[in-house]
Amino acid sequence: MAPDYAHWHGMFEVAERFYMKLIPQAREITKHAAESGKGEQVAAVNSVIDEILARPEHKWQDSGTKPAADKPAAW
């Protein structure tokens, strides 16, 4: 394994688990909590999630573009 590949693959796995598993699971939990009448806690958790996703390192997600790992090589 080359260091550049290991770094890219490691970052890809972190991003995949964060965006594709952790955030959707957290949203699902808050959805169930809202149905159980825990509105104040739901608002607090959603606020934290939204604050994290508003950071500059997550801006690519707002642009509607996919991360580089999902794009075919142009060369």
What are the residue boundaries of the structural domains of the chain, listed by start?
10-51
Residue 26 CA to residue 49 CA, distance in Å, equals: 8
38-75: pLDDT as tens digits = 999 999 999 999 999 999 988 877 766 555 555 554 44
The candidate with the shortest Cα–Cα distance to 44, out of 29, 61, 22, is: 29
- Residue 75 is predicted with a pLDDT of 41
**Integer angstrom CA distances of residue 59 from 15, 20, 50, 56, 72:** 13, 16, 12, 5, 21
- For the question of whether the overall pTM of this predicted structure is more than 0.85, the answer is no
Contact 64, 72 (CB under 8 A): no
Q: Does residue 17 surpass a pLDDT of 90?
A: yes
Give φ, ψ of 61 to 5 degrees: -70, -30
